[in-house]
Amino acid sequence: MRKVKLWRIHRHAMNPVDLASLLCSRLCHDLMSPVGALNNGIELLADETDPDMREKCLELLSDSARASANKLKFFRLAFGAAGGFGDAVDTHEAQAALEGVFGAERRIEVGWVVTDGKLAKGAVKLLLNLALLAGDALVRGGRLDVGAESSDGEIELAVRAEGPRILLDPVLRETLEKGASGNTVEPRAAGAWLAHSLAAEAGGSIKLSEPSSDVLMIGVTITATR
């Protein structure tokens, strides 16, 4: 009964097709830069005859291709159906995806504190979405620590971001804690709404630390079957 009730609330709050559209918009927005750089690099390479410049073009292409692949790998886990039809996901795959998105920039140091070799698919999706929001809040770089621990049928997820300046949009904060407001979700808050929904469906509620200039903590405890 409780599961059906939650589903009705979420459906009323937002059409699933609208959510899918918003998440696709987020993916396209994040891929625009590296894919655009790939296109520019190919155009430069076609007209360039100087060996040194051609080498730099190839470096640009390599970096852009790597960035595109890393983002796709992450979004496949965080938004898509990665891991096949099984109930669990390899946490090492999730770690690699997160480090590929943030670690490669060398502005954010990623700490991974997840002891379980596998976690429920919903738990991994929730953890990665929370990590993405916290990492995006590190506007001047810093450290992002991500942890998960299973015990007594529950999974505790925790994300800690620390840096010289943290900026978490109040709309994202409200969406994480309360879900959709006024039956609508702004495009920038699609990931936060997804995280809120995943947590609610698994019997948890997301908690955030009070606004701070240099530290952000996000935590949630959910049932281990989700």
Strands 108-114 and 142-151: parallel
Reply yes or no on whether the pLDDT at 19 is more than 80. no
Element holding 47 (H helix, E strand): helix 16-47
pTM above threshold 0.85: no
Average of pLDDT values for 20-36? 72
Q: Judge contact between 144 and 160, C-beta under 8 A.
A: yes
CATH architecture label of 2-223? 2-Layer Sandwich (3.30)
What does the mean pLDDT of the chain come to? 82
Task: Work out the burial of residue 198: count CB atoms within 10 Å of its CB; fewer than 13 is exposed, 13-18 middle, 19 or more buried.
Answer: buried
Q: Judge contact between 198 and 124, C-beta under 8 A.
A: no
* pLDDT tens digits, one per residue of 71-88: 888 888 888 765 555 678
* pLDDT tens digits, one per residue of 84-109: 556 788 999 999 999 988 866 568 99
Q: Judge contact between 10 and 23, C-beta under 8 A.
A: no
* pLDDT tens digits, one per residue of 135-148: 999 999 999 999 99
Determine the pLDDT at residue 11. Answer: 36
* pLDDT tens digits, one per residue of 158-205: 999 999 999 999 999 999 998 876 556 777 788 898 899 999 999 999
Q: Judge contact between 156 and 149, C-beta under 8 A.
A: yes
Q: E-strand spans in the chain?
A: 88-90, 108-114, 118-120, 142-151, 154-162, 207-208, 215-223
Give the whole-angstrom CA distance, residue 141 versus residue 170: 20
DSSP per residue, 155-200: EEEEEEEE-S-B---HHHHHHHHH--BTTB--GGGHHHHHHHHHHH
Determine the pLDDT at residue 4. Answer: 34
